[in-house]
Chain A
Amino acid sequence: MKKLVLTIILGFCAAFTFAQSNPSFSPATFTAEDEVTITLDVTGTGMAGQTDVYLWMFSNDGVGGGKDALTNGQWGSSSEAAKMTRVAGNVFTFKFTGTTLFGQSPAELINFGFLGKSKDGTKQTQDFKPFKFDPLVFTASQFRVFPSKMDFTDMATVYFHQDLATDQNLQRMFDVKVTLTFYSDAIPQTVVATRNALVATKESNVLYSYSFIPERLITLPAGTKLGKFSYQFTGSIKDANGTNVPTSGPVTEVSYTVFN
């Protein structure tokens, strides 16, 4: 009986541990000029059980202009400056400031990623990426979301600024609609629901928007939380014969913030 109770308690503890976001950051949101502490639990990775974990970090994954962290050292011999601090068992922390770590300006830094490794590079975790730096300056773009950070219970409004579109089809697009796809916060994130052809509000000749609260659009299964959503503006253009032809913009993903 005691074993059964102990097993159940341990099971709950394990489930609770995995339910926490890993890695986590303090503060939860930060610019490239803020000091950030990464907390990484290497349980279940190739580094589980190791006492020394070194970070291999890189900037601007998938967006161009990326660099390796100045603290990385060589793959076969990590720099001591990249060593994480062990706080308990498989849990390690590392403190850094983006601009100092990558030697790049706040305007250059968009996101970063990392993995944990042994000093000699024979063991490693999977990649953890990408994690966005908050911008320090506002940059106008053809697509944006308001507010810039939200959780899945908040009202979100997605915008398409047609006057800022660089693609000719998007510049000419009419009958503008939105496709929204919602993803769970579980790992891996799975699609919870998709809503197509939601008619966008024409706020002006060059601005379209669509506002929504997820639970007003989709039915969330009990206990399901959303981790992110994606949006895509779609519509029509005229071909050479004057016939309407469907066209669409890129898919943009928005991660939900966890408030506390």
Chain B
Amino acid sequence: MKIIKYIVLALCITSIYSCKPEEFGPIGEEENIVKSLQGTWGLTKVTQKDEDAATKGFPYKELDITNVYAYKDLVIALQGDAAGTPTSFIITQGNSPKISDFNTGTWTVDNVKAPTVINLKSGTLTSELTLGSYAELKTGKFYLKKVKKSNGKAIVSYTYQFTKK
């Protein structure tokens, strides 16, 4: 009986002694999303969404309009300084319909570490575009969404898929 007690005691001491902080490897450098956005991007897909229909659960919510006009002509160059801070942008429209009311100016983001909105600015004019998932940024794709609203309610939106040139 005493032997069992010693065995249990020994197990407890071993268990407690074996508890120690586990060392994790480095998680890597923090990804600079804004810097990753910089570069020259070609428009590769345009989707139009009827937000009102989606809200009401109606059919016919989305339509791929990429090939209706020459959307793939459009190229956007997002430029930044050495530190990765956004500076200027240039949209080369080609024969594509416009996605912004102006083709040159400056760009800013709402949050440097986790941007969700990109603002294109030209003088007093601003065009607000929502930034989509970063998941495909590493594979050279990102998404911008333009939402058109009426009294704060989303009615129509366009999602632009850009691929790195």
- Spell out A's residues near B (CB within 8 Å): 26-29, 134-136, 138, 144, 146-151, 154-155, 157, 211-213, 216, 257-260
Contact = CB atoms under 8 A, between A and B. Distances in A.
A27 B150 CA distance: 8
A31 to B, nearest CB: 9
Size bracket, chain B contacts: 20 to 34
A148 B53 CA distance: 8
Contacts of B155: 29, 147, 149-150, 257, 259
B48 interface: yes
Contacts of B60: 144, 146
Nearest to B69: A216
Interface of B: 48-50, 52-53, 56, 58-60, 63, 65, 68-69, 97, 148-151, 153, 155-156
A29 B150 contact: yes
A134 B52 contact: yes
A28 B151 contact: yes
A145 to B, nearest CB: 10
A211 B58 CA distance: 20
A213 B59 CA distance: 22
B50 A26 contact: no
B151 A27 contact: yes
A27 B153 contact: yes
5 contacts: A146-B48, A148-B58, A155-B97, A257-B150, A260-B149
B58 A138 contact: yes
